[in-house]
Homo-oligomer: A and B are copies of this chain.
């Protein structure tokens, strides 16, 4: 099984890049352990390892913005995964309500930030229910 050749790091984790299968927009970046990767392939729903909560995390279980897996890729060193997903719900990947977690641009060359992303929901209306 190819899954056995995947290189998890010293914490048992591998980075996961998540891209919208329709638009190509990079939506988020998170981490997986072996169990979350297995579940993601089996259930075809993005399931991460939350480093802050130290538990499996089905993306969208609270907000409804689950991500259905369409395509999976692995890099040359077998130590990074790329997922193309179909965002469900209102389609927001970010807990701050934006379509993509990368909703701020960094100015070149001074490094100042500017919000450029599209906000799809107000976090306090979704998470404080």
Contact = CB atoms under 8 A, between A and B. Distances in A.
A69 B44 CA distance: 34
A74 interface: yes
Interface residues of A, number: 45
B80 A113 contact: no
A44 B25 CA distance: 22
Interface in A28-84: 28-29, 41-42, 44, 69, 71-77, 80-82
A76 B98 contact: yes
Interface in A91-125: 94-96, 98, 101-113, 116
Given A15-B15, A15-B29, 5 more contacts: A5-B113, A19-B26, A29-B75, A41-B110, A76-B103
